[in-house]
Structure 1
């Protein structure tokens, strides 16, 4: 894991992010002060849960998974961040000052590391940035409330159907799981054998076909009917 090039010599795509778009030019040096480009290899950990949250990241290339380890040693992947997305910016304002999760590279990754102090100073100088951050935080809180309700009220089949339908598909309706089946089971809150049984049953019934991470959704309308039964309207 190697940091290279000060940001003055590096791309400034981060300024195109919706959070910073339209920022006064005199605040750009504040936001980018002491920032750098970080190149990491697959499997490298960018930060660990509980470490001091001194930097947030803008993904320039590759994918980063954010996860926690459960008490029984399983990995619960909460989100996968892709190029153009910000990672851990809200952690810069947590009262305990620590990262709440672990971030790990999925394949080779390039990120721009930006300092907490620069973001905090920019918020104080430009109120619009504070409003945008509050909007992002509010949307995430609302999503988490919906997630809690979803996991408590839905069945394993409904959760799996919803998850598959949300994945990007090709023209033939084939999706690729971004998680291993064990990780997916933890993400959906089901036992691995329950997930395996569901997939096998749906293959036998002709709803899907495939194996491991690649699956063709043969009857998406049936999956949609299961998923919709537990979805909220907004």
Structure 2
């Protein structure tokens, strides 16, 4: 049975500025892809033909070091797009590899079709640039956290960003992602990751139940985020 694209994808920031005929061009060329856990979507250096939006599951973007060590660049959650910037890069090759951590469903959008829509509408280009600049600021903030903050601060900030609402004082975070993958994403060793969770639990700030972390006091977690290891 042919999969139907969910309505929320039509409202994604990449498509929000398109009119109906433009959106129809992009959607008609879209391709649904189902991935098993551990299955690769694309690999570093592969010629890029599509960008993607994740519908369900979790995708990790990663690179291999010269020594063969895997470094997680980003974790993609449902609703997020990835590889769209490759459309505007010289060479049109994926700069990272993408792998499903759990069974996942993505939608792939033809880069050539999307570029053609943009080339025919400078107004849409400028509006899209404005929306993408917001995403760039978020990424720059994450880079600052990785380079300027210690391991405790990075993990605390990650837990805070996982809140369903910024004002939540108490909430739960469920991780399907393996601990070593999350640790790599935060540039933290797995044993350090576990140690920090234990410290936060001993301080009464969180409780850990298997793959679920319950944040008991977000205000104290924010204070903890400013402390040193």
Normalization by structure 2: what TM-score?
0.80
Q: 1:184 to 1:32 in 2, by over 3 A?
A: closer
Please give the alpha-carbon distance, in whole angstroms, between the structure 2 residues aligned to 1:106 and 1:115. Answer: 24
Quote the residue 2:144 is aligned against.
Answer: 149
Quote the residue 1:129 is aligned against.
Answer: 124
Q: Is the contact made by 1:33 and 1:118 (CA closer than 8 Å) also made in structure 2?
A: no
Q: Is the contact made by 2:53 and 2:82 (CA closer than 8 Å) also made in structure 1?
A: yes
Q: How many aligned positions are there?
A: 222
Please give the alpha-carbon distance, in whole angstroms, between the structure 1 residues aligned to 2:204 and 2:99. Answer: 36
Quote the residue 2:60 is aligned against.
Answer: 66
Please give the alpha-carbon distance, in whole angstroms, between the structure 2 residues aligned to 1:221 and 1:29. Answer: 45
Quote the residue 2:134 is aligned against.
Answer: 139
SS in 2 for 1:107: coil
Q: Is the contact made by 1:50 and 1:99 (CA closer than 8 Å) also made in structure 2?
A: yes
Please give the alpha-carbon distance, in whole angstroms, between the structure 2 residues aligned to 1:27 and 1:62. Answer: 25
1:42 counterpart = 2:40: no
Quote the residue 2:113 is aligned against.
Answer: 118
Please give the alpha-carbon distance, in whole angstroms, between the structure 1 residues aligned to 2:186 and 2:178. Answer: 12
Normalization by structure 1: what TM-score?
0.78
Q: Is the contact made by 1:77 and 1:183 (CA closer than 8 Å) also made in structure 2?
A: no
> In the TM superposition, what are the counterparts of 1:173-212 in structure 2 within 5 Å?
173-212=171-210
Please give the alpha-carbon distance, in whole angstroms, between the structure 2 residues aligned to 1:95 and 1:69. Answer: 19
Which residues of structure 1 form unaligned runs of 5+? Answer: none
1:16 counterpart = 2:11: yes
Q: 1:26 to 1:207 in 2, by over 3 A?
A: closer
Quote the residue 2:81 is aligned against.
Answer: 86
Deviation of 1:25 (Å): 3.8
Q: Is the contact made by 1:19 and 1:133 (CA closer than 8 Å) also made in structure 2?
A: yes
Please give the alpha-carbon distance, in whole angstroms, between the structure 2 residues aligned to 1:153 and 1:85. Answer: 26
Which residues of structure 2 form unaligned runs of 5+? Answer: none
Deviation of 1:10 (Å): 4.9
Please give the alpha-carbon distance, in whole angstroms, between the structure 2 residues aligned to 1:137 and 1:23. Answer: 14
Q: Is the contact made by 2:58 and 2:177 (CA closer than 8 Å) also made in structure 1?
A: no
Q: 1:205 to 1:114 in 2, by over 3 A?
A: closer
Q: 1:116 to 1:162 in 2, by over 3 A?
A: same
SS in 2 for 1:43: coil
Q: 1:90 to 1:129 in 2, by over 3 A?
A: farther
Deviation of 1:77 (Å): 4.6
Q: 1:77 to 1:212 in 2, by over 3 A?
A: farther
Please give the alpha-carbon distance, in whole angstroms, between the structure 2 residues aligned to 1:145 and 1:23. Answer: 27
